[in-house]
Structure 1
Amino acid sequence: MNKALLLLLWLGIWLTGCTTLPPLSNEDQADRWQDRQAELLQLQHWVIHGRIALRHEDEQWHANVRWRQDQAEFDIQLFGPFGRDIARIQGNSEGVTLRTGEGEHYLARHVDELTQQVLGWPLPAAGLRYWILGHPLPTAEHTLKLGAQGQLESLYQSGWEIRYERYNDAPLPLPQRMRLQYENIYLRLLIDEWHLQPDAPPFNPNFGV
């Protein structure tokens, strides 16, 4: 199985915040979470630069990642050591394309179909756009646990267990480190940079190597 495809198609990143602030009461946590959900759902343009690690059965892979989200459009790039191009997946509501560093191309109507075609099982792609922000997919059932400041600490949705290990200190804290598990697939994401505008600086594929 192509390592690049697994790395690219199983993007996911989640974190919960380390903070020195005193914990909120349960009622205040719920109120803070309601406010936080409204703020997160307004984020329609963002870019992350980070690192991703995937463990599946006896194999492990690592890569640098750049993910640009512009409303429904997304562009995910994976890079290996020395900036080596591993794979790129781009899509919107009209369809999805995937290109590997070896020049292989795949097309599908949805990311779920693409992962089924390439990997043999579907990816809950609709949730990823929200999970990476620290928010559940609004249209699907889920179970969650809130942290001391009203942010997501853990989330279970679409068969995935997502744990948020750290948030940044921005005015709206966003995930910095996340772990995901689906059966025997384990994914870890470390986000080095968040940019909340489409005109994010160019990606340095050697960052963090």
Structure 2
Amino acid sequence: MMRQIAILCLLLLSACSMVPEKPLEDYQLGQMQHLQQKKQWAFEGRLALVDEKDSVSVSIAWQHDEARDDIELVGPLAQGRVKISVTAGRVEVDDGETRNVYYGESERVVAEQLGVDMPVNALKFWVLGGNAPEQTFVEQPGGFYQDGWLVRYREMQKVGEWLLPKKMTAEKDKARIKLIVDQWNFP
């Protein structure tokens, strides 16, 4: 009898663990637009960048204010740390050994330094769940198309009074960005 109860309990517990967790809420672009007014924010998470030539998986810490984006990328087991600071027309890249300053389009500079596409100027809007305001876009279920990228939000999370992205992807040709945000911060 005790053996049957134990087996029944195991079956019930395993059945509970197989039930997929439902996302908090579905993504709605219209509900995200108010977040674009935020002048300062930061997040920590995990980032994967892939294209036909290379792939990079890193931890990411991104701090944004009106004039500057500071992005710190750290490889697996804390190997390879790169700090990227982006301001208008200027990108500073510090790998811990050398610090270089580049002038020009940030997307080109970051792609050259990382070896894969990362549209920094648009991504600072996409991470908040919205489209970049200076470019046209086409809304899609769960995301939108913008500048050739298909941006999708896989999971949302409640942060204080706001609903923010937890998991997002962006794909263009053979390039793919996958971001998981572990923690948001709004000063």
- Alpha-carbon distance change, 121 to 33 in structure 1, aligned in 2, over 3 angstroms: closer
**What is the TM-score normalised by the length of structure 1?**
0.68
CA RMSD of aligned residues (A): 2.9
Match among 163, 178, 187 for residue 152 of structure 2: 163
Higher relative contact order (CA 8 A, sep 6+): 1
Out of 171, 178, 185, the residue aligned to residue 175 of structure 2 is 185
Q: Show the counterpart of 1:132.
A: 127
Partner of 2:72: 77
Provide the residue aligned with 1:7 in structure 2. Answer: none
Structure 2: where are the runs of 5+ without partners? 1-21
Contact 2:40 / 2:64 at 8 angstroms: preserved in 1?
yes
C-alpha separation in 1, matches of 2:155 and 2:117: 28
Q: What amino acid sits opposite 2:164 in the alignment?
A: L
Structure 2 CA distance for partners of 1:18 and 1:189, relative to 1, 3 Å: same
Aligned partners of 2:52 and 2:46: how far apart in 1? 20
2:125–2:132 contact (8 Å) kept in structure 1 = yes
Q: Percent identity?
A: 25
Structure index of larger Rg: 2
Structure 1: runs of 5+ lacking an equivalent = 1-16, 24-28, 147-152, 198-209
TM-score, with normalisation over the residues of structure 2? 0.75
| Structure 2 residue identity aligned to 1:65 | I
> For residues 34 and 48 of structure 1, do their structure 2 counterparts lie closer, same or farther at Cα, with a shift above 3 Å needed?
same
Task: Name the CA distance, whole Å, in 2 between partners of 1:97 and 1:136.
Answer: 25
